[in-house]
Each structure stands twice: as structure tokens, then as C-alpha cells.
């Protein structure tokens, strides 16, 4: 593994958006919280653009960084492009393969849904169809799906079907583990593998992100342990509540003006947006003008709301 970039032992938090579009209020709120968590704990704050999935890359990375600056969020060092880190991702998979923990999988999503599940397995869990195939059977499977390549899956250690961790906001949390994908059939490294390798290389020991990602955390902790990189309690997690749209569904573009540029077009300033985000977190009164430095003085993780914030659309009052 690559050496920890935080050589001073200070530790780091990070924000890691995908450049699939402009950041909406939910993304901005999570970024603000990640910055507050890191700065309030004396950590460095790092930025990583997670651009591995080329099909979803809309080239929005630069605009995303500009929007964060508009709110007053800064970071240490240059932003890291995940697509530049392929050598480390490949090396991590090779290390797992050398330990007998990787196998080829030719299953489609339809195959997985149609296959009988193991007893007590969670819905959608991989049933292990390709786990114990012979070399002859693997060769036949490769031929069947050509020219598509097989995916690579982690051979989860026997008996490891769940893993528990303590979350700063969710508290004790338990999640399921199956033989999850490490590299997709199109050659793209899977999120769970890339995020573990990259966080370790960047010296990240505090991960703040949306609580929709909490279910994937046990898989990542297992990978941390198998790769011999820091894991809880050396690494801490805080999964923050999402922002919902007026219908109660996760905030999306269909909910109207939800990005800084859209709100600006409607006459809403960046300062007003920051004020609204701060108010939603209990860090400012309604309409109070604040700065991120002022929010840092008030920040108390224990006092953060545990429920989603519903954005009603319209102005940012």
C-alpha cells in the first residue's frame, strides 16, 4: 500500500464527491459537516474527486470545487483524482488474490436475482454461484459472457456474514457482508475497494458521509482488515442524515432549484444558502447570516439532528 500522506500523524477527514453533476443542497450539507468534523477535531481536510465511473462522469468536478469555495469550505493540498490511483487499486486486488480471497464471477444481475438465496441471507446478497467453480467451469463461463470480462469478487472469510461498528451519529451499527464485487466486468474498480485503498493512502481516519452509505461500511471495514490498513477504532465514521425533497424522497434535480447556481439564478445568495444549511443543523437561527468560521465555533457533534432534513423547494429562507 502507498504510504500515508499524513506523515505528521495529524489525521485527516475528507469529502469525496462524484463528478456526475453539480452539488445539490444535500451534497453541500454533507460537505459542510465533513469540514466541521475535521476542523473541530484538529484534522486536515482533504478533497478527492471520485471519477472512476466514466459513464457517470459529467465533468462537474471543477464546478463542485468552486461551489465549496463559495460557501467558505477550504481543504489542504491539491484535490486527488481517484482515476489517477489505478496502480494502487490493482495492487490491492492482487494482494487479496495472492491470499486466495478473489474469484471470477460471470453472473448478471438477473442471474443473481433468479438464484436461490442462502438461508437467512439478506435480499440481494450474492448467493455464491461462482464461488466454488472448477477451472473448467470458469473457462466455460468466460466463454459464455465473451466479450464481456468476468467481475472479480471478494471471497469473504468463512462465517463472516455480518460486522458491527460504532458510528458517531448512528451509534452501534451492524451490516451484512457477502462476496461483494471488487472489480466490475467492464474493468472499473468497485467503490468499496477504491474508497478503502484511497482513504488509507491519504491518511484519512475520519469519514463523514451520507447515511445511505452506512450499509456498505461493514464491507469496507472487512477490506481494511484484510489489507492491513487502519480500521475502527483507529478510523471513525459519522453517517449524517440525508436531505429529502418535498415528497419525502431523497433530494434530486426534480425538486427544483437545489444547486448553488440554480438558487443564484433565483436571487438567492451563497451566504443565504450557507445560512439555511446552518439553520437545518441547529447551528444558526432562521435567516441568521453566518460564516463557516462562526459555525466551527458553535459546532458540537452531539447536538446534531439525527433525522433527515426536508427541503421544501423555492427560496433558501
Query: Strands 243-244 and 309-310: what pairing?
Result: parallel
Side-chain-side CA neighbours of residue 62 (13 Å): 1
> Given the C-alpha cell 443543523, which residue does it identify?
281
| Measured distance CA(49)–CA(60) in Å, rounded | 10
Ligand-binding annotation for 280, yes or no, is: no
CA-atom Rg of the chain in angstroms:
21
Ligand-binding annotation for 237, yes or no, is: no
Write down the pLDDT at residue 117. 65
| Cα-based angle 289, 210, 47 (whole degrees, multiple of 5) | 75
DSSP 269-286: -HHHHHHHHHHHTTSS-T
Ligand-binding annotation for 70, yes or no, is: no
Ligand-binding annotation for 107, yes or no, is: yes
Ligand-binding annotation for 50, yes or no, is: yes
Closest to 241 (Cα-Cα) out of 273, 213, 204:
213
Distances (CA, A) of 317 to 73, 102, 154, 278: 21, 52, 48, 11
- C-alpha dihedral, 276 to 270 to 265 to 310, nearest 10°: -20
Question: Is the full-model pTM beyond 0.95?
Answer: no
> Given the C-alpha cell 457533534, which residue does it identify?
301
Write down the pLDDT at residue 8. 53
Ligand-binding annotation for 44, yes or no, is: no
Ligand-binding annotation for 132, yes or no, is: no
**Residue 103 grid cell:** 474469484
Distances (CA, A) of 7 to 32, 68, 185, 203, 206: 25, 26, 36, 8, 16
Ligand-binding annotation for 85, yes or no, is: no
Ligand-binding annotation for 16, yes or no, is: yes
The contacts of residue 168 (CB under 8 Å, 6+ apart) are 37, 236, 237, 238, 301
Q: Helices (H) and strands (E) in the chain — how many of each?
A: 10, 12
Write down the pLDDT at residue 115. 78
Ligand-binding annotation for 116, yes or no, is: no
Ligand-binding annotation for 253, yes or no, is: yes
Write down the pLDDT at residue 124. 72
Q: What is the mean pLDDT of each run of 10 residues along the chain (317 residues)?
A: 49 95 94 98 97 77 96 97 96 98 93 72 82 95 92 95 96 95 95 98 97 96 98 97 91 85 95 96 95 97 95 62
Write down the pLDDT at residue 260. 95
Ligand-binding annotation for 307, yes or no, is: no
Helix (H) or strand (E) run with residue 13 in it: strand 12-15
- Structural domains present in the chain: 87-191 (3.90.800.10)
| Measured distance CA(274)–CA(32) in Å, rounded | 9
Ligand-binding annotation for 219, yes or no, is: no
List, in sequence order, every residue forming a beta bridge with 181; answer none if it has no partner: 153
Amino acid at each position: 500500500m502507498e504510504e500515508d500522506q499524513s506523515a505528521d500523524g495529524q489525521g485527516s477527514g475528507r469529502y469525496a464527491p462524484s463528478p456526475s453533476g453539480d452539488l445539490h443542497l444535500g451534497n453541500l450539507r454533507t460537505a459542510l459537516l465533513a469540514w466541521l468534523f475535521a476542523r473541530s477535531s484538529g484534522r486536515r481536510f482533504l478533497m478527492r474527486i471520485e471519477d472512476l465511473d466514466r459513464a457517470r462522469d459529467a465533468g462537474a468536478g471543477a464546478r463542485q470545487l468552486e461551489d465549496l469555495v463559495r460557501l467558505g469550505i477550504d481543504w489542504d493540498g491539491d484535490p486527488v483524482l481517484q482515476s489517477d490511483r489505478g496502480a494502487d487499486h490493482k495492487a490491492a486486488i492482487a494482494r487479496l488474490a495472492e491470499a486466495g480471497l478473489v474469484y471470477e464471477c460471470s453472473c448478471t444481475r438477473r442471474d443473481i436475482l433468479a438464484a436461490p438465496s442462502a438461508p437467512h441471507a439478506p435480499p440481494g446478497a450474492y448467493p455464491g454461484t461462482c464461488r466454488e467453480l472448477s477451472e473448467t467451469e470458469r473457462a466455460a463461463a468466460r466463454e459464455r459472457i465473451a466479450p464481456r470480462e468476468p467481475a472479480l469478487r471478494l471471497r469473504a472469510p468463512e462465517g463472516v456474514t455480518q460486522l458491527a461498528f460504532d458510528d458517531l451519529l448512528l451509534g452501534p451499527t451492524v451490516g451484512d457482508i457477502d462476496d461483494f464485487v471488487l472489480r466490475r466486468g467492464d474493468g472499473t474498480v468497485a467503490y468499496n475497494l477504491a474508497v478503502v485503498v484511497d482513504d488509507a493512502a491519504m491518511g484519512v481516519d475520519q469519514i463523514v458521509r451520507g447515511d445511505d452509505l452506512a450499509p456498505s461500511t461493514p464491507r469496507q471495514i472487512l477490506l481494511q482488515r484484510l489489507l492491513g490498513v487502519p480500521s475502527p477504532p483507529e478510523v471513525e465514521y459519522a453517517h449524517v442524515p440525508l436531505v429529502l425533497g418535498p415528497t419525502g424522497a431523497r433530494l434530486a434535480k426534480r425538486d427544483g432549484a437545489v444547486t448553488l447556481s440554480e438558487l443564484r439564478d433565483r436571487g438567492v445568495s451563497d451566504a443565504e444558502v450557507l445560512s439555511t444549511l446552518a439553520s437545518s443543523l441547529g447551528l444558526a437561527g432562521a435567516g441568521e447570516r453566518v460564516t463557516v468560521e462562526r459555525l466551527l465555533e458553535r459546532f458540537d457533534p452531539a447536538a446534531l439532528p439525527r433525522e433527515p432534513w426536508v427541503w421544501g423547494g423555492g427560496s433558501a429562507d
